[in-house]
Every structure is written in structure tokens, then in C-alpha cells.
Amino acid sequence: MNTFLVTLLGLEVGALALALYLYSKVKRGQTKRRVEAPNSTYKSRYVEDLESLERWQKMDLSRLHEINRDEVEKLLAEAQGASARSLTSQERAFLDRMADAYDRVVRRDARPEASGRRPNPASRAS
């Protein structure tokens, strides 16, 4: 009788362990997995840095004011030497503002009929 009770107790403990294992496996399967969609707009910091650096480098520095040009050249040299992450948030914001302003000027000069302005002759020389 004693062995029967021990065996029965062992089976119950085993069944309980199996039930807990299966329950945890089911719960793990129900957790929501985060999968990026193919058209996801997420970019890693590395990719963002590369895109920022590329955008900053495409500026025509000859069209900037000499004070801004000196600062942009200094910051670009620092970003190229170490990385774009080595710049402070204020320095990155400054370069972003300069690049945005440059993009606006380039777009404006590309469509003289839409804005009613004549293109800058200096921009055509380059």
C-alpha cells in the first residue's frame, strides 16, 4: 500500500510539472512579438548617422556665410574623424539647420517660375 501511494504521489507531481511546463510554453507563445514590417521607417542609429553625414557633406560650402562656413567645416571634420555621434545635440542641430536652409535654397533656385524669383547666377556657376 505504501509503494502504491508513493507511486501515485510521484505521478501527480510529474503531471503537475508537465502541466506547468505546457502552461509556460503556451504563455510564451501568446506573447506579442515585435516584428518590423517590410516598409518600416525604423532606422538604426548607425544608418541615421550615415544619412545625416551624407546630407551635411552635400552642402555647397561656398554658398554659406564665412562664419557659418568655418563652423560647418570644423563640425564636418570632427564628424568625419570620429563619428556623427561625437557631435553634441546642439552641433547636430546646427548642421541640420544649415542643411535644411541649403536644401530650401536649392529647391527655390531649381523652380524660378514657381516662386517668381530669378535663379541665383552664382548657383549656376558651380
Provide the pLDDT for residue 90: 92
pLDDT 10s digits, 105-116: 888 888 766 555
pTM of the predicted model, to two decimals? Answer: 0.54
pLDDT 10s digits, 3-23: 887 888 888 888 888 888 888
Q: Where are the domains of the chain?
A: 45-125
**89-110 and 66-81 helices, crossing angle to 10°:** 120
Whether residue 95 has pLDDT greater than 80: yes
Separation CA 17–CA 35 (nearest Å): 32
Separation CA 62–CA 70 (nearest Å): 11
The 10 Å Cβ neighbour count of residue 59 is 20
For residues 17-40, one letter each, b for 16 or more C-beta atoms within 10 angstroms of the residue's C-beta and e for the rest, the string is eeeeeeeeeeeeeeeeeeeeeeee
pLDDT 10s digits, 21-67: 888 877 776 666 666 666 667 778 888 888 888 888 888 888 888 88
Separation CA 26–CA 29 (nearest Å): 5
